[in-house]
Structure 1
């Protein structure tokens, strides 16, 4: 698996991941994070995604059949999911289904989350998109499936996004 992030540094890239960072993050979040997510974070701890559009079978508030997620947050730093997820859920009124995973271009009105509502905190979460209506809509059964579904934004260059 290649690293799906743009090269270079950014505030979205955290320090090299350690078992201690993972342990503390899971304690803070109250969930076990997906192994595939952790495997990726051990390779690069967050960053700006190269393939940043997720196809959907539903309309989003800004596109007919996809949403964009620019950043996948890592762990153990100021912009990590263990630091900001609870605050984002509270600030934006996201559903209490799990953990905010990434940052969309709108950076607040919509988001993408790990959803533990069906599996509980120890299970393998689904990935959901949360739009302005705050209804979580499943886009992947797992984090691994979510990452495999992402496509470059150029796929949608000709689409009228209507946002």
Structure 2
């Protein structure tokens, strides 16, 4: 069976740390949990997100930088993330957890464009989201960077979630322009 990550090494994708296990990483989600989280969020999660969660449900990637086509508040041509939220409710950084997607909309006034799924080194002053504005609640969302400090400017990072994950670079690759 073909998956979104065929040929991609998920075995060396994640950082192993107590912090990641405590705040991000959860058990692989069941189909029932995925559907319940989707109902709670109001959006169908991308198949690639669910597949990634089946391998490891949330955590801190070893590669945390991604190029963009235009400047962001983070860099002239890219963004950085610090973690990817798990599909669940229990972990601090889970999609429906204490600092999950709704928190950023309800408490920080981020625009309700979809699902906020990755935080950044700015501690909430910019976030990464699945943007459903063009595709609707059931479609395949783009991945965007949303800059709170720049009047919530939205910058497209990747056309879909799988491309976002495949496009993450480590510091050396990013600095070398790879």
SS at 1:92 equivalent: coil
Supply the distance in 1 between the matched residues of 2:80 and 2:101 (Cα, whole angstroms): 18
Cα deviations by residue, 1:21-77 (Å, 9 ceiling, x for unpaired)? 101110110111000110000110000011100111222223211110110111112
**CA RMSD, 1 decimal:** 1.7
The answer to which of 98-107 and 86-95 deviates more is: 86-95
Residue 29 of structure 2 is matched in structure 1 by 17
Does residue 120 in structure 1 map to residue 136 in structure 2? yes
The answer to which of 135-144 and 148-157 deviates more is: 148-157
Residue 168 of structure 2 is matched in structure 1 by 150
1:129–1:138 contact (8 Å) kept in structure 2:
yes
Q: Which runs of 5+ in 1 are unaligned?
A: none
Residue 6 of structure 1 is matched in structure 2 by 15
Supply the distance in 2 between the matched residues of 1:22 and 1:143 (Cα, whole angstroms): 16
Written as runs of structure 1 = structure 2, the 5 A alignment for 1:5-154 is 5-9=14-18, 10=21, 11-76=23-88, 77-78=90-91, 79-83=93-97, 84-131=100-147, 132-133=149-150, 134-154=152-172
2:64–2:82 contact (8 Å) kept in structure 1:
yes
Shift of 1:126: 0.5
Q: Which runs of 5+ in 2 are unaligned?
A: 1-7
Greater than 6 Å deviation, 4+ residue runs: none
Residue 3 of structure 2 is matched in structure 1 by none
Shift of 1:127: 0.4
Supply the distance in 1 between the matched residues of 2:159 and 2:175 (Cα, whole angstroms): 27
The answer to which of 31-40 and 75-84 deviates more is: 75-84
The answer to which of 4-13 and 123-132 deviates more is: 4-13
CA 141–158 in structure 1, closer or farther in 2 if over 3 Å, else same:
closer
Aligned length: 159
Shift of 1:158: 8.2
